[in-house]
A and B are shown apart, each in its own frame.
Chain A
Amino acid sequence: MSRPEDTLPPDLHYNDTEARKYTTSSRIQNIQASMTNRALELLDLTSPALILDVGCGSGLSGEILSSIDPSEGGPHVWVGMDISASMLDVALQRDVEGDLMLADIGQGVPFRAGSFDAAISISAIQWLCNAESSEVSSTGRLSRFFNGLYASLKRGGRAVCQFYPKNEQQRTMISGAAIKAGFGAGILEDDPGTKNSKLYLVLTVGGSADEGTGGDITGVVKGMEGVDVLDARKKHREKGRKEVKKGSKAWILSKKEQMERKGKVVKNSSKYTGRKRHITF
């Protein structure tokens, strides 16, 4: 299936016809609604909050935010940012309740520090991986966005970004940029391995001490049904623990490599390197 991200920049791709098609398609509406509900579940808000909707488009996800029942902690007030004027035009015609802004998230998030309780983004941030002109780079856009988002969220706030990475490289690029900005980040994957697989980047600002597991995704999904935790950090830590024995062949080779990297003159390695000597007697 072709990706719209590969063809045109978002402000041109979502022209009047595309924006209308996107908003009236009942299939897309259903998918968007289910993803928004999943994101809200991850945000775990208990009282009416001020939410930033990144890439709000025609307000499909915002509509759900403002229609939440008071018994479930709603209705939330939201502010939406989008780069496509046509999408915002459709949102105006649909008379959504949130505030709308025409802005490029790759240029930063123009709010003062600690403004929002939470942020939500449905199928938007993969657009940041494309740089449309030579003046901007995708890494620059990603870092400006995540730095701005990090600053505009209050301490203890959360952001859930559902996104469609093109490949593994984009996935690590996006989550890496979020971690660099200071977020506690983790990725939740729904229906992994199927065509309907959905990725949610769950970001936390500062950990609350009472959660026990720290302020990252493992704390967020704790107690959730049907979620397997794969902690890449743990694997890494275990790998680190299996240290090579001092004096062994592997140890010698790694030392030689280390010295070589430092620019020292190192003797070539051969089959004799680090080999045990026979007892001569």
Chain B
Amino acid sequence: MKLLTLNFLTCAVKACKSSSASFPLHPKDCELVSDTIAPNPQLVYNVLPRIDWNALVTTASELGFPTLPATAPTKEELENDEKMMKELHTLLLETSVSEGILVCGNCGHEYRVKEGIANFLLPNHLV
């Protein structure tokens, strides 16, 4: 599960829909893997406005990455700064969670990630 996807995932439990604590999910005991994916700057520009930067900062610090800048870079900054672009690409698209648990900050429901596949199946009473 890429960090990009993790930045969009929320808790699936019905009672959590209205709570702001249900996003982002907090990774716990995670194993990370790094793949090589061809750089795709157009995609990064496309999703950049939709990324919740605060959530990304939280996730990155919980996974033990060096601290990210407090505010999101703009498209122009990325166009001029090749190094930052590369780092963002590595963080969002090439880093993925392969094993571990994602915990909802509101209800505490744990979603298990196995071989990169998160299990979001819920028992009927939580839907």
Which A residues form the contact surface with B (CB < 8 A)? 47-50, 75-77, 79, 81, 83, 88, 92, 97, 99-104, 107-108, 110-112, 114-117, 133, 135-136, 144, 152, 154
Contact = CB atoms under 8 A, between A and B. Distances in A.
B121 interface: yes
B5 A102 contact: no
A76 B40 CA distance: 9
Contacts of B46: 47-50, 117
A198 B124 CA distance: 33
Interface of B: 1-2, 4-5, 8-12, 14, 23, 37-38, 40, 42-43, 46-47, 50, 52, 93, 96, 115-122, 124, 127
Contacts of A107: 12, 120-122, 127
A235 to B, nearest CB: 38
Contacts of B115: 92
Contacts of A48: 40, 42-43, 46
Given A48-B43, A83-B121, A112-B8, 18 more contacts: A47-B46, A48-B46, A50-B50, A76-B43, A77-B43, A92-B116, A101-B1, A102-B119, A102-B120, A103-B118, A104-B120, A107-B127, A112-B23, A114-B50, A115-B50, A136-B127, A144-B127, A152-B8
A111 B10 contact: yes
Contacts of B12: 103, 107-108, 110
25 contacts: A47-B46, A48-B46, A49-B46, A50-B46, A75-B38, A77-B4, A77-B43, A79-B5, A81-B120, A88-B117, A92-B115, A100-B117, A101-B120, A102-B117, A102-B120, A110-B11, A110-B12, A111-B9, A112-B9, A112-B10, A112-B52, A133-B124, A135-B124, A136-B124, A136-B127
Given A48-B40, A48-B46, A110-B11, A104 B2 contact: no
B124 A101 contact: no
Contacts, number: 88
A102 B2 CA distance: 15
Which 6 interchain pairs have the tightest Cβ spacing? Answer: A110-B12, A103-B120, A48-B43, A115-B8, A99-B5, A102-B119
Nearest to A49: B46
A75 B42 CA distance: 10
Interface-central residue, A49, A104, A107, A133, by most chain B CB under 10 Å = A107
A111 B14 CA distance: 13
A115 B9 CA distance: 9
A158 to B, nearest CB: 15
A77 B93 contact: yes
Contacts of A135: 124
Contacts of A103: 12, 118-121
Nearest to A99: B5
A133 B11 CA distance: 24
A88, A110, A117 interface centre (most CB from chain B within 10 Å)? A110
Contacts of B23: 112
Contact of B10 (A110, A133, A136, A144): A110
B55 to A, nearest CB: 9
A223 to B, nearest CB: 24
B127 A99 contact: no
A168 B88 CA distance: 49
Nearest to A76: B43
A102 B43 CA distance: 25
Nearest to B127: A107
A99 B40 contact: no
Name, among B40, B122, B127, the residue most crowded by chain A CB atoms within 10 Å (CB to CB): B127
Contacts of A102: 117-121
Nearest to B8: A115
B42 to A, nearest CB: 5
Contacts of B1: 99, 101
